[in-house]
A and B are shown apart, each in its own frame.
Chain A
Amino acid sequence: MDVSFSPEEEAFRKEVQDFIAETLPKLGKTSRRDFTTKEEFLAWHKALYARGWVAPHWPKQYGGAGWTVTQRYIFNEETAKAETPQTLPFGLSMVGPVIFTYGNEEQKKKFLPRILSGEDWWCQGYSEPGAGSDLASLKTRAVLEGDHYVVNGQKTWTTLAQFADWIFCLVRTNPDVKSQEGITFLLIDMKTPGITVKPIITMEGGHEVNEVFFDNVKVPIENRIGEENKGWTYAKFLLVNERSGIAGVSRSKKNIERLKEIASAETVDGKPLVSTDEFARKIAEVEIDLAALEYTELRTLAEEAKGRFAGPQSSILKIKGTEIQQRITELIVEAIGYYAYPNERGFGDNEYPPGPDYAVGEAGVYFNWRKASIYGGSNEIQHNIIAKAVLGL
């Protein structure tokens, strides 16, 4: 058993640190919440692309970094520590691997370079108003007419569709068979006539998700991945493909540090909140949960490194990971006390809300982060997966 890093791996860590130190200041902003425009999201993506690091998990032949799982782990750790922006998963982690695994040569040539460069912004057309946890019940209909499909229906909870150039969609091509067997995986240009994007505002006031409507949208047959009616296979592959980082361990570590800083600045009867028994205990509890999860993740990565895919067991990473993330946001709001009240969205760009800097927007983060136990297969669904596929119940 060996959990230490080799000299080569430590050298790699140094290389990542240097890259971050050099790149981050050039992006202009350094706070995680400050990146809100398409250009801001893409600035980090493009810097990584220029360095050849934008797709750590893609094979080299498709332009990936070809890193080992340990290198990927180190990279996640260092970027989290530095609070860098994150690349978005929709192109790099979701549709990209589907294309290089199941797509044809033309599709690989057409789409993969543009995902890497950031030229194409992708979004995910999975959920529908009637198909959430029960994704396979989706109804968006695609009918083949000559050399193209005609798509009609609606997708929802589509993250950052307002910026997207392309959407990958699960559509129903055969309504007469078992629901999983009549689904096809299509790549759709967002500029195609008949597509409408409507914003969904979430409770804290943010605009991350959207409804996407399809009204007689013509999609060329060459934009179909693999075979017709085999889309569920590709969708499942996508759902379990990218497990590294799903637990968010490094980001949570960083956020616990932030929590401690806030609890050190806040005072109770003249003493730092962090020194009170009850709050210190709460921090310790979440920190211990996270320590255990870190080793659970490392065990998963070690298996993966040996080519043994963790499969359904990795649902534990999603459940525990999001529970911990949510707990930290909750404790941050608790630590802040009354200054969690001001709604930062009511202030203009040049105004600063009252209270300490660290308090700004934290209640909104807590409210927004309730999504984490809902998205990507709700935590109830993840429990079902473990019950069925791991425990055999």
Chain B
Amino acid sequence: MDFSYTEEQTLLRNSVSKFLADNYDFESFKKISRSETGWKKENWTQFAELGLLAAPLPEEFGGLGGGAFETQIVMEDFGRALVVEPFAGTVVVGGGFLKHGGSAAQKEEWLGKIAAGETVLAFAFAEAQGRFNYADLATTAKKSGSGYVLNGKKAVVIGAPWADHLIVTARTGGSQREDQGVSVFLVPKSAKGVSTRDYATVDGLRASEVTFENVDVPAANLIGAEGNGLPLIERVTDEAIAAHSAEATGAMKVLLDATVEYSKTRKQFGVPIGKFQVLQHRMVDMFMNYEQSQSVTLMVTLKLEAEETERKKAASAAKVQIGKAGRFVGQSAVQIHGGMGMTDELNVGHYFKRLTMLDTLYGNVDHHLKRYAALS
């Protein structure tokens, strides 16, 4: 058994780490996140030049031929640095839909663009009534001539303000919440009838509310088979779950290290507070939560190509472990830092906020416990 990275993977890790060390310290994160656009376009260009965007994409379409482990490497380091630029939305989700569901022509056109940093994608799936059920859709795509007409509203589309194209889920048939009848489309944000309302999120990202009003979508923009989009959505979002698990693990590591370090230097009652057993045990629990999170991240990454039920169970298991661990590690880091942990000035609160919101993304602990139990 060997969990070590290949030489190429080690090189990738080094190049990501170096880029972040040079360009993405905590102050840079705050500056970027609070800038007018909320991201740094130059970083995206740099990611492309460094081959990060191409790393997990197939070689025949301009990628570097890696896979889930390349994604894990990038996302874990991005989690450590609180990176806002939408690697997951564009490469993992966007790239995932095209890789697994795209036609030859779509792959040809889009995977190369993703790898080269020439496009930014965002996934528009959530709806106000739907909670975490991808099939609970009020958005419709009705056949019209050779294409479709899209109508509906999507909630909290992370990264949409930076995107040029959206990947949109809509109902082409079946009743609301039915498994059948769900389809996936690639829609230019500039299409007539698409309107967006952009805003900042509590964890330092940007999102949009997106409305589609009689938007004409050519048949060529359907991704995968009409009406059979749900298995594709589940596969791609399981991959996204693996990616965000790595991100969360990276964030937890920063909080664990910062808290241990702080407890060694902060003195009260004449001793470093790390000498108090009640805090020692809490930090040990933080450590164990981090270790377990690393393990489930590895597990889900390994099982993304496994048989469907096994893959789904692994993704839900990761989501449950990471959701609980993220909450515990985040809250404990704030608590042990005391007042300092509450401030905007210190990084701790910002990691805590990111971890909190990652629990919601693609379904929270309760949702995935239920999904896991139903699969067992």
Q: Are A133 and B370 in contact (CB under 8 A)?
A: no
Q: Are A200 and B345 in contact (CB under 8 A)?
A: yes
Give the residue name and chain of the B residue nearest to A336 (CB).
B360
| Contact A137:B209 (CB < 8 A) given known A353-B199, A364-B202 | no
* Cα–Cα, bound, A368→B341 (Å): 11
- One of A15-23, A31-39, A215-223, A264-272 at the interface: A264-272
List residues 39-71 of chain A with CB under 8 A from any CB of chain B: none
* Cα–Cα, bound, A268→B136 (Å): 9
List residues 196-227 of chain A with CB under 8 A from any CB of chain B: 200-205, 209
List the B side residues contacting A149 at CB < 8 Å: none
Nearest-neighbour CB distance to chain B for A6, whole angstroms, equals 43
List residues 219-278 of chain A with CB under 8 A from any CB of chain B: 266-270, 273, 278
Q: Are B338 and A363 in contact (CB under 8 A)?
A: no
Q: Are B335 and A367 in contact (CB under 8 A)?
A: no
Q: Are A340 and B202 in contact (CB under 8 A)?
A: yes
* Cα–Cα, bound, A156→B129 (Å): 45
Q: Are A339 and B199 in contact (CB under 8 A)?
A: no
Q: Are B343 and A203 in contact (CB under 8 A)?
A: yes
Interface residues of A, dominant DSSP: mixed
Q: Are B278 and A338 in contact (CB under 8 A)?
A: no
* Cα–Cα, bound, A228→B156 (Å): 59
What is the interface residue range for chain B against chain A? 35 or more
Interface residue from A266, A334, A355, A364 paired with B155 (Cβ < 8 Å): A355
Interface residue from B133, B156, B269 paired with A134 (Cβ < 8 Å): B269
* Cα–Cα, bound, A346→B36 (Å): 11
Q: Are B207 and A342 in contact (CB under 8 A)?
A: yes
The CB with the most chain A CB atoms within 10 A, among B156, B273, B339, is that of B339
- One of B98-106, B218-226, B239-247, B346-354 at the interface: B346-354
A173 at the interface (CB under 8 A from B): no
* Cα–Cα, bound, A205→B366 (Å): 29
B113 at the interface (CB under 8 A from A): no
Nearest-neighbour CB distance to chain B for A208, whole angstroms, equals 10
The CB with the most chain B CB atoms within 10 A, among A202, A378, A379, is that of A202
* Cα–Cα, bound, A273→B367 (Å): 11
Q: Sorted from nearest, which 7 A-B pairs have the closest CB atoms?
A: A203-B349, A134-B268, A346-B200, A201-B344, A338-B156, A341-B201, A363-B202
- What residues of chain B have their CB less than 8 Å away from a CB belonging to chain A? 126, 128-129, 131-133, 136, 155-156, 158, 176-177, 197, 199-203, 207, 209, 267-269, 273, 276, 278-279, 327, 331, 334-335, 338-339, 341-345, 349-350, 352-353, 356-357, 360, 364, 366, 369-370
